[in-house]
Amino acid sequence: MSHFLDALDVTPLPDGVLWKLNANFRYQSDVYGALITVPAGFHTDFASTPREVWTFYPPWGKYGPAACLHDWIYRIQFTTRDMADHVLREAMIVLGCEPITVANIYNAVSLFGRTAWSENARRLRDETWTGGLS
């Protein structure tokens, strides 16, 4: 059964947008079929929602741990984009997010996540990129 193995331990960075993981953050995914570990030092902006929808879907919400996990998969790309989006959906359900929230966030990343995925793929080709680790 899918579940988070750790509490999410983060510290805000001075830019007011990014957060740094203070400890490894692990999630056992049935959809992916393996344990996913987001390493300490990783930087996340949680949900990259447009400011216009922050009233309903701010960057941080009940779905925050799922968004952090999704950011890591998008940055490192150890699986497909489609699988990353399915893991996000699964993790939001595990967190007990409302079904409408799960559907809206999942649909948004499925429709609009291509740019972020492509940008991270380009960065992965750059030997100097750290993948969001400090």
Domain for residue 103, yes or no?
A: yes
Domain for residue 59, yes or no?
A: yes
Domain for residue 131, yes or no?
A: no
What confidence score (pLDDT) does residue 74 get?
A: 96
**Spatial contact of 38 and 25, defined as CB atoms under 8 Å apart:** yes
Closest CA to 3 of 75, 107, 86, 95: 95
**Spatial contact of 72 and 42, defined as CB atoms under 8 Å apart:** yes
Q: What's the predicted TM-score (pTM) here?
A: 0.90
What confidence score (pLDDT) does residue 55 get?
A: 82
pLDDT digits (tens, 9 = 90+) for 44-72: 999 887 777 778 887 788 999 999 999 99
The CA–CA distances, whole Å, from 20 to 16, 23, 40, 45, 104 equal 11, 9, 8, 9, 26
Strand partners, 21: 10
Select the highest-mean-pLDDT range: 40-49, 90-99, 118-127. 90-99
Domain for residue 132, yes or no?
A: no
Residue span of the structural domain in which 99 resides = 3-124
**Spatial contact of 86 and 111, defined as CB atoms under 8 Å apart:** no
Give the angle 95-100-102 at the CA atoms, nearest 5°. Answer: 40
Domain for residue 134, yes or no?
A: no
Q: How many domains does the chain have?
A: 1
